[in-house]
A and B are shown apart, each in its own frame.
Chain A
Amino acid sequence: MTTAPATAAPTTTAAGTARAVVTGVGVLAPNGIGAEEYWAATLRGESGIARITRFDPSSYPSRLAGEVTGFSVRDHIPSRLVPQTDRTTQFALAGADWALADAGLNAESLPADERGVVTASASGGFEFGQRELGHLWGKDPKHVSAYMSFAWFYAVNSGQVSIRHDLRGPTGVLVTDQAGGLDAVAQARRRIRKGTPLMLTGGMDASLCPYGLAAQISAGILSESEDPARAYLPFDAAANGHVPGEGGAILALEDADRARERGARIHGAIGGYAATFDPRPGSGRPANLERAVRGALADAGLRPGDIAFVLADGAGEPEPDRVEAQALTAVFGPGGVPVSVPKTMTGRLYSGAAPLDLVTALFALRDGVVPPTVHVEETTGHDLDLVTGAPRPVTGDAALVLARGRGGFNSAMVVRGPSAP
Chain B
Amino acid sequence: MSAFTTEDLFQIMRECAGEEEAVDLSSAAAEQEFGLLGYDSLALMEAISRVERGYGIALPEETLGEALTPAAFVAVVNAALADRMPAAGAA
Contacts and interface: CB of A to CB of B under 8 A. Distances in A.
Nearest to B46: A146
Contacts of B14: 79
Contact of A143 (B15, B38, B43, B53): B53
Interface of A is mostly: helix
A142 B49 contact: yes
A83 B15 CA distance: 8
A142 B42 contact: no
A83 B18 contact: yes
A54 interface: no
A147 B18 contact: no
Contact of B18 (A79, A142, A143): A79
Nearest to B49: A142
A80 B42 contact: no
Given A142-B52, A142-B53, A143-B53, A79 B46 contact: no
A376 B40 CA distance: 51
Contacts of A146: 42-43, 45-46, 49
Contacts of A80: 17-21, 38
B21 A78 contact: yes
Contacts of A330: none
A350 to B, nearest CB: 27
A84 interface: yes
Interface string B20-56: 1100000000000000001000110110010011000
Given A78-B18, A79-B18, A147 B46 contact: yes
A83 B52 CA distance: 19
Nearest to B16: A83
A81 interface: yes
A149 interface: yes
A82 interface: yes
B82 to A, nearest CB: 22
A216 interface: no
Contacts of B17: 80, 83-84
A145 interface: yes
A182 B6 CA distance: 49
Interface residues of B, number: 16
Nearest to A139: B53
Contacts of A147: 42, 46
A83 B13 CA distance: 10
Contacts of B18: 78-84
Interface string B52-82: 1100000000000000000000000000000
Contacts of A83: 15-18, 46
Contacts of B19: 79-80
Interface in A120-145: 142-143, 145
Contacts of A82: 18
A79 B18 CA distance: 5
Contacts of B38: 80
A145 B42 CA distance: 9
Interface in A354-382: none
A79 B21 contact: yes
A149 B42 contact: yes
Contacts of A78: 18, 20-21
Interface in A307-337: none
A82 B21 CA distance: 13
B37 to A, nearest CB: 10
Interface string A136-168: 000000110111010000000000000000000
Interface string A69-94: 00000000011111110000000000
Residue from the set B16, B17, B21 with the largest chain A CB neighbour count within 10 Å: B17
B52 to A, nearest CB: 7
B35 to A, nearest CB: 13
Interface string A50-82: 000000000000000000000000000011111
A82 B49 CA distance: 18
A276 B44 CA distance: 46
Nearest to A85: B18
A147 B16 CA distance: 10
24 contacts: A78-B18, A78-B21, A79-B14, A79-B18, A79-B19, A80-B19, A80-B20, A80-B21, A82-B18, A83-B15, A83-B17, A83-B46, A84-B17, A84-B18, A142-B52, A142-B53, A143-B49, A143-B53, A145-B16, A146-B42, A146-B43, A146-B46, A147-B46, A149-B42
Interface of B: 14-21, 38, 42-43, 45-46, 49, 52-53
Given A78-B20, A79-B19, A83-B16, 10 more contacts: A78-B18, A80-B18, A80-B38, A81-B18, A82-B18, A83-B18, A84-B17, A146-B42, A146-B46, A147-B46
